[in-house]
Amino acid sequence: MNSRLNNLIFEVENKRRFRPVRSLDIMLKAFNDLEIDLSLVKKVHVTGTNGKGSTAKTIQNILYKSDKNNIVGLYTSPYLEKFNERIRINSLDISNSDLEFYLEFILNFNDKFEENYHESLTFFELTTLMAFKYFKDKKCNYLVIEVGIGGSFDPTNILNYDISVITSIGYDHMQQLGFSLEEILSNKLGILKDNGTLFTTVDSSFYSQMESDAKNKNAKLFLFDTESIYKRNNSFFLEGYKFKVNLLGDYQINNAYLAIKVSLYLINDLDLNKVKKIIREIKFKGRLEKIEENLYIDGAHNEHALRNVINSLPNIFVNKKIGIVFSCLADKDVSTMIDILNNSKLEFIVTSFKDLRFKDLIPRISSARYIEYFPQAIEELKKTNDIVLVLGSIHFIGLVRKYFKG
């Protein structure tokens, strides 16, 4: 990656993250000024506290691998190791040359926008507009767009989508979304438009809230109860077919199930024998990924994800002693996550990592063991455990992955 590209990435990443007043008015004005017409493109919008990234990537895989003529854009965040991962077509990251061109384009546009309207666009607005422009220029016929945070006021929510997807509800980003699960769900339901279509695997305890919202919007609602999905040995059954998932964790079955249901709605004659092979071959970096012998990483960075991963460990690593290295950014509910780790009865160590947003966790971890340098923390746990699992913020596990895999 050349120095000019690095400087462009640095410039866009240092734009403010959020608007002081929640509104999509500025984003819509910028989108209209750019004259990006995506009305003829089939579009899927994916949100959820956890599982949204895996579900979005699985939908993209199914859409482009099931038909070689499909050009499927995927927009996700955050990235694991490099900025290019945010914007993909048919699973290929945007190239450095294209990324440089589109970053330059959107930053120049932002300068003119500020001159005309005395408003500067935020980081998420700029990257979203850049992705939409790239996908339009590359003639994508499908888009799978992952929400950044929440739904209602996320910059991605300016389009009319063919399908809206909500994977799960849990506590995360409470400052922006609300402090109850009902408030968080209400924000995420903001992606469902009038006369729209919603697919969801959200817990059945929230069905009445979702049914009421869909009724008010005259929208179609497809509810899938994950408890009723027949699962065995990392496999599940759907439409009379048996699907094998090679990603670790039962929750990945839920994500795959939902992705297939969405794809079937989009493509009437979808070949499920092809989809079986696609699902079996899918692997995602940073999702209970083995990076060396007995060392795994996973981006479980909130309460809901942490519980899911810990609950799945006895079935994945049978009769193995497991140690956990954990770190996250300070905007998370650190105390609750430390409580979850304490209650798991697993040996764990809290550590740190280099990030401009990282703040010292020591005041918030009570009596939990702390080792500042993560490679040292990993080596310590290797002495007393069969498996070491590194959990936490996506950027953190990306740094761990790069350290071990180069």
How do the domains of the chain map onto residue ranges? 3-281, 289-405
- Mean pLDDT across the stretch 113-117? 96
Rounded Cα distance between 217 and 208, Å, is 14
> Which helix (H) or strand (E) is 102 found in, with range?
helix 96-117
**Cα(96)–Cα(6) distance, integer angstroms:** 10
173, pLDDT greater than 60: no
pLDDT confidence tier of residue 241, bands split at 50, 70 and 90: very high
Q: How far is CA 247 from the centre of its chain?
A: 15
Given a cut of 70, whether residue 174 has pLDDT beyond it is: no
Helix segments in 138-249, DSSP class H: 174-177, 181-188, 207-216
Three-state SS for 229?
coil
Q: Distance between CA atoms of 248 and 288, rounded to whole angstroms? A: 6
Nearest to 50, CA basis, from 249, 324, 338: 249
Q: What is the pLDDT of residue 175?
A: 58
Residues 179, 184, 187: CA angle, nearest 5 degrees: 130
Question: pLDDT digit string (tens) for 200-235?
Answer: 999 999 999 999 999 999 999 999 999 899 888 889
Rounded average pLDDT over 295-303: 90
> Can you name the CATH fold of 3-281?
UDP-N-acetylmuramoyl-L-alanine:D-glutamate ligase (3.40.1190)
> CA 381 to CA 321: how far, in whole Å?
10
Q: Give me the pLDDT at residue 63, please.
A: 98
- Give which of 237, 207, 205, 199 is closest to 48, Cα–Cα: 199
Cα–Cα nearest to 152, from 134, 173, 171: 173
Q: Do residues 395 and 286 lie in contact, with contact meaning Cβ atoms separated by under 8 Å? A: no
Mean pLDDT, the chain, whole residue set: 92
Give the pLDDT confidence score for residue 195 in this predicted structure: 97
pTM of the full predicted structure?
A: 0.91
The answer, yes or no, to whether residue 358 has pLDDT greater than 80, is no
233 burial (CB, 10 Å; 0-12 / 13-18 / 19+) is: exposed
Q: How far apart are CA 53 and CA 39, in angstroms?
A: 24
* Of residues 350, 254, 338, the one with CA closest to residue 303: 338
Token pair for 100: 């440089």
> Could you read off the pLDDT of 251-277 as tens digits, one per residue?
899 999 999 999 999 998 999 999 999
37, with CB counted inside 10 A (0-12, 13-18, 19+), is exposed
Q: Report the greatest alpha carbon distance in the chain.
A: 64
Nearest to 14 by CA among 87, 96, 89, 83: 83
**What percentage of the chain's residues is helix, strand, coil (to nearest 5)?**
45, 15, 40
- Give the right CATH number for 289-405 from 2.60.40.3880, 3.10.20.30, 3.90.190.20, 3.20.20.70: 3.90.190.20
CA angle 212, 214, 217 (to 5 degrees): 110
What mean pLDDT do residues 361-375 have? 81
Instruction: Give one DSSP letter per residue of 139-150, joined into a string.
Output: T-SEEEEE-SSS
For residues 142 and 59, the answer to whether their CB atoms sit within 8 Å is: no
Calculate mean pLDDT across residues 149-160. Answer: 93
pLDDT tens digits, one per residue of 284-297: 889 899 999 999 99
Q: CA 60, CA 72: separation in Å to the nearest integer? A: 6
Give the separation between CA 391 and CA 370, rounded to whole angstroms: 14
Instruction: Specify the DSSP class assigned to residue 361.
Output: -
Bridge partner list, 165 = 46, 199
Where is 237: in which H helix or E strand?
strand 235-238
Rounded-to-integer distance, Cα 353 and Cα 35, Å: 41
Question: What percentage of residues in the chain have a pLDDT greater than 70?
Answer: 96
Cβ proximity of 346 and 387 under 8 Å:
no
**How do 295-298 and 387-392 pair as beta strands?**
parallel
